[in-house]
Amino acid sequence: MITGTTITQFIIEEQRRVPGATGEFTLLLNDIVTATKIIANDVNKGALAGVLGGAGTENVQGEDQKKLDVISNDVMISTSERSGHLAAMASEEMEEILPIPPQFPKGKYLLLFDPLDGSSNIDINISVGTIFSILKAPEGKKDVTAEDFLQPGTRQVCAGYALYGPSTMLVLTTGHGVNGFTLDRNVGEYYLTHPNMQVPADTKEFAINASNSRFWEAPVQRYINECLAGKTGVRGKDFNMRWVASMVAEVHRILVRGGIFMYPRDTKDPSKAGKLRLMYEANPMSLIIEQAGGASSTGRERMLDLKPGGLHQRVPVILGSKNEVERVVSYHKEAE
């Protein structure tokens, strides 16, 4: 018999700690939990369900959509639009925000998500994930606009991700630490397996797409060169490197054993400030990392303090073990 705390019990217990909570947020989280189970099922079946390969369409960022990107986006919408907890949604896969259709009741929350992050890994059976962020809609406003989503990351009510790896996990924060749950496929429930996750302050492991190295800015080149010099250089210790090309997998590794993840600004395409998107990738992951004792920055500013300029805005991302992130930030300061 399985014992332990299910995610539903955990969320209800968290709700009891919030005076005056109506249960609306708890029910919204339950919808998201359900959506991740459905997506996990599709990802898990893969080629057997005919869900691999391209969808033949492009998203707002001009990237080819995979069938599973589109399916996951539909699952996130259909699972959370009808319960009455949301005012509107926004997704990596949709150019505009999606206000709750008039046939459904409207709620007080805004949901942002990347339905399936790590798209380049979908067809090759490597870990992918769903990232989500919850904000409050402005009170008393009838029709929510895209501007209402442009709140700094500090205003997130909740952030989380589902990791579809060898096991499916859901990791979330409501601003009181970070907890990880593992899906028992036979029972169909997530169980608390990783309570109070903490990022170690120091690390000997970095994650960066080194094929972009000639386009990096000087502070990032300096930091990586020092890591590569290992014991013989100023750091006096050897480093290891990982690059999964799935942000969810990288962040999860950092939460479990520390590390630094960087998708920094580079000059490859000067029109882009970075590759990753602020609202549904960088902000939720930054809240999780900070809540676990780590740090997250653009190199110049704390990520969560950024005032967003657009729904699909890109940002440089440097996150993970606190002392390493602070070192990279100090290299940026020195260079300026």
Looking only at residues 47 through 66 of this chain, which bind ligand AHM when binding is defined by CB under 6 A?
A: 63
Query: Using CB under 6 A, which of 79, 203, 246, 297 touches ligand AHM?
Result: 246
Distance, CA of 6 to CA of 29 (rounded, Å): 13
Residues 190-219 that bind ligand AHM (CB under 6 A): 209
Interface pattern 91-130 for Mg ion (x via CB under 5 A) = -----------------------x--x-------------
The CB-of-209 to ligand AHM minimum distance in angstroms stands at 4
Which listed option, Mg ion, ligand AHM, none, makes contact with residue 273 (CB within 5 to 8 Å by class)? none
Contact region for ligand AHM (CB under 6 A) — 102-110, 154-162, 179-187, 239-247?
239-247
Taking the complex as a whole, how short is the minimal distance between the CB of residue 138 and ligand AHM, in angstroms? 28
Q: Which residue has the tokens 């750091």?
A: 235
Q: Return d(Cα 231, Cα 161) in angstroms, integer.
A: 36
Q: Which is nearer to ligand AHM, 87 or 247 (CB)?
A: 247
Which is closer to Mg ion, CB of 63 or CB of 147? 63
- Quick check: 118 binds ligand AHM (CB under 6 A)? yes
117 is an interface residue for ligand AHM by CB under 6 A: yes
Question: Does 93 interact with ligand AHM (rule: CB under 6 A)?
Answer: no
The binding site for ligand AHM (CB under 6 A) comprises 63, 92, 114, 117-120, 209, 245-247, 263, 275
